[in-house]
Amino acid sequence: MSADFTQTKPFSLPVEMQAYLTERNSPPSEHLQSLRQIAAEMPQGGMRLGTEAGTFLSVLVQTMQPTRALEVGTFIGYSSLSIAAAMPPSGRLLCCDVNDTWTAVAREHWQAAGVADRIELVLAPALETINDQPSEPHLDLVFIDADKTNYINYYDALLPRLKPNGMMIVDNTMWSAHVLDLDDTSDDTVAIRAFNDYVAADQSTTNVTVPMGDGLTLITHAR
């Protein structure tokens, strides 16, 4: 018998606790708030990185101070703006996406936030863009939030390019708990389930999943 996965976010906090934390967490910038409003009015708005996850990214970036970062899956720019705004002025973020309409919104907000000079957007299949990059370790930070069926391919392509002290962050790894439902054989669910198993079996890395939003998995080279 399959489990009941009727909730959109089975791991969401109680409403009262969520409100309590929201009131005490650092609020998004005005430009991130603008992107939140735009996403709320879009049919595809659920693709936006969650607010807490965006702030979490910003805190990590402020701590790590990466100079070279790469993002797979930009959408309207919430995650890229969260990253770029926290990078040092010399930092550079390469964004991989294929949708010119959605990323036009991102470009507008990068410009308004004063970080457009830190970001390069390439509109092409991400694996092509990644394979055009140097093959040696040169990335301090990688963020993956794109087509789920390529997650393992992105992992394999980017891990050798990640510096020894670098970090890879992958979104949606809890997948609203559908990874637990073995009766769910949809392409995305199967892909996320396979990715999670693949990373868990890779002894060359250390990983931990933060139960925030739809799951953020943090991956580093093993020591």
Task: Name the least confident of 2-16, 19-33, 100-114.
Answer: 2-16
Confidence check: pLDDT of 169 > 70:
yes
Residue 10 lies in a domain: no
Entry pTM: 0.93
Report the CATH number that the domain containing residue 93 is assigned in CATH. Answer: 3.40.50.150
Backbone phi, psi, residue 211, to 5°: -75, 65
Residue 18 lies in a domain: no
Would strands 216-221 and 162-171 be described as parallel, antiparallel, or unpaired? Answer: antiparallel
DSSP-derived secondary structure letter, 26: P
Residue 7 lies in a domain: no
Confidence check: pLDDT of 3 > 90:
no
Residue 15 lies in a domain: no
Residue 20 lies in a domain: no
**Quick one: pLDDT at residue 11?**
62
Contact at 8 Å (CB) between 153 and 128? no
Containing structural domain, residue 101:
26-41+49-221
User: Distance from CA of residue 209 to its chain's centroid?
Assistant: 13
Q: What span, in angstroms and rounded, lies between the C-alpha atoms of 45 and 120?
A: 23
Q: What span, in angstroms and rounded, lies between the C-alpha atoms of 184 and 173?
A: 15
Confidence check: pLDDT of 192 > 80:
yes
Confidence check: pLDDT of 46 > 50:
yes
**Quick one: pLDDT at residue 127?**
98
Contact at 8 Å (CB) between 148 and 191? yes
Structural domain tally of the chain? 1
Q: Residue type at 182?
A: L
Residue 105 lies in a domain: yes
Residue 12 lies in a domain: no
Residue 114 lies in a domain: yes
